[in-house]
Amino acid sequence: MQPQVNTGHPRRWAILGVLVVSLLVVVLDNTVLNVALRTLADPVHGLGASQGELEWSINSYTLVFAGLLFTAGVLGDRFGRKRMLSIGLAIFGVASLLSAYAQSADQLIWARALMGLGGAAIMPVTLSIISNVFDPRERARAIAIWSGSVGLAIAIGPILGGALLENFWWGSVFLINVPVVVAGLIAVAVMVPESRDPRPGKIDIVGVLLSVVGLVALSYGIIDGGEHGFGRPIVWAGILGGLAVLAAFVAYERRIEFPSLDVRLFKVPQFAAPVALIGLVFFAAMGVFFFSAFYIQLVRGFSPLETGLMMLPFAVAQMAFAPRSATMVKRYGAKTVSAVGLALTAIGMGGFAFLGVDTPIWVVLGLFFIQGIGMANIMPPAMESIMSSLPREKAGVGSAVSNTVRQVAGALGVAILGSVLAGVYRDQVGSAAEALPGPAGDAVRESISGAYGAAERLGPAGGAVINAANEAFVTAMHWTAGIGAIVAALGVLMVVRWMPGKAAEEPRAAEAHATEPELAPAS
């Protein structure tokens, strides 16, 4: 019997290296930014960004990325994936340069939105190119390497960001992307072959506009309300208007033939439950990561590099346990593994509700590690359930939907939990702020970063302000962490109620494994 000929591209593994680097730069950017938030809030060494502006610096990227993810994939299928990858890298590089030299928080927010446009163009076509250049027998391994690069970015991002901030100005965390992008553009031009889909889907322009407008309006209302109070009409106009536009988006997507988000899939409980599970987890996780950088750097007094190193337990847990979770799913079933993963995630997040100003730092490291183990055992069983609930031809759509939900949920997590953090902090620090002159009191009320800036100008009297701000922030962190843990715990109930058990999964196992090459975990 003749051995089967490998139909993959002769340089497929080198091409995979180019695609992994392209994905790395997109994921790395957000993990680096988490460490830089404290510096960006500093009026001397950063941009003096308020808490709301810091939230927008994260969400402007995430919302544009999520809103354009489907459309960018369709454009790549229609006009050429190599071309779309090159365009995405170029946009990302230019936006990184603009971010590095932003003169105000507003400029940074707009530059980050442009980075989201570049990221949306990069991510979907990298997976499509892998499917095109690899033989089906090697494709699953290639996608596993592609997905594993996310764990690498989680591990090195905070450390790289901390090292850059220790030695250079804050813009270096964005400027580092530029040489990587330039090298990537050259490698793509030389090595990556062009490919197209002979039957590409139609572009859903109306759906894209409705989703982006609705999400931005909703996020604006939540973030502005958290920063300035929910008693103003403009806040509720943003929230209610955003919800109305999103409702119109869902209604429109149900009627058209080529929707950017196939909402009809959510009628299948075995699909809807794991997708909602992914959303709940990343909603809670992004909120926790947002406040943890301020807790470690301000309340505990650690440097950016030390902060990055403290996030290593989370990354190590991800890299150690994520590859093993698929085996656990085969042995115990997606329902059991998901429930345990969610319970551990809730414990890791909820532990922040018991931290104080002087809690031993090893406790923080342990909480990050527990949270990492939990989240490492959520994505694989969730994707397994999504795979087994859809026919083969819908597998790629299922993966794209889960990735979009993850991005949107993360953005809303930063917006909502960030607003809770700001609101509770403002209430708790109110009495200390009232005792200070106008500008100093306003700075203390605005955020813990503002309080530290004001304390520096007050001289010896600043010590009392810092103590009050630390206590107020820790109380606000307790509330935020508690809500995040409750959201994660609600996912356990969802898993028990709707995700199939092991007995129900087994008849679909062969079909699920047959679709694996077309799927990749959200990243």
Read off the pLDDT of residues 246-304 as tens digits, 9 standing for 90 and up: 899 889 988 887 777 777 778 877 788 888 888 888 888 887 887 888 888 888 888 88
Q: Where are the alpha helices (DSSP H) in 134-267?
A: 136-167, 172-175, 177-191, 205-228, 233-255
Q: 321 pLDDT band (50/70/90 cuts)?
A: confident
Q: What's the confidence (pLDDT) of residue 4?
A: 63
Q: What's the confidence (pLDDT) of residue 126?
A: 81
- Separation CA 410–CA 34 (nearest Å): 13
Q: What's the confidence (pLDDT) of residue 518?
A: 37
- What's CA 307's distance to the chain center, in Å? 19
Write the single-letter amino acid at 411: A
Say whether pLDDT at 136 is over 80: no
DSSP symbol at 296: I
Mean residue pLDDT across the chain: 80
Q: What's the confidence (pLDDT) of residue 479?
A: 93
Mean pLDDT over residues 88-104, rounded? 92
Q: What's the confidence (pLDDT) of residue 278?
A: 84
Tell which residue, 223, 191, 282, has the closest CA to residue 491.
282
Q: 31 pLDDT band (50/70/90 cuts)?
A: confident
175 vs 404 pLDDT, higher one: 175
Say whether pLDDT at 97 is over 50: yes
Say whether pLDDT at 520 is over 70: no
* Lowest mean pLDDT segment, chosen from 66-70, 135-139, 395-399, 428-432: 395-399
Residues 6+ apart with CB under 8 A from 358: none
Q: Where are the alpha helices (DSSP H) in 333-461?
A: 334-350, 361-376, 379-389, 395-434, 438-446, 448-458
437 vs 210 pLDDT, higher one: 210
Give pLDDT tens digits for 347-393: 999 999 999 988 999 999 999 999 888 888 887 677 667 766 766 54
- Other C-beta atoms closer than 10 Å to the C-beta of 510 total 9
Question: What are the tokens at 62?
Answer: 């995430």
Q: 430 pLDDT band (50/70/90 cuts)?
A: confident
Q: 511 pLDDT band (50/70/90 cuts)?
A: very low
Q: What's the confidence (pLDDT) of residue 482?
A: 92
Q: What's the confidence (pLDDT) of residue 513?
A: 43
DSSP symbol at 291: H
Q: How many helices (H) and strands (E) does the chain have?
A: 21, 0
Q: What's the confidence (pLDDT) of residue 39?
A: 84
Q: 474 pLDDT band (50/70/90 cuts)?
A: very high
Say whether pLDDT at 328 is over 90: no
* Lowest mean pLDDT segment, chosen from 148-152, 315-319, 419-423, 471-475: 148-152
Q: What percent of the chain has pLDDT over 90?
A: 14
Q: What's the confidence (pLDDT) of residue 101?
A: 92
pTM beyond cutoff 0.85: no
Our CA angle for 247, 51, 366, nearest 5°, is 95
Say whether pLDDT at 44 is over 80: no
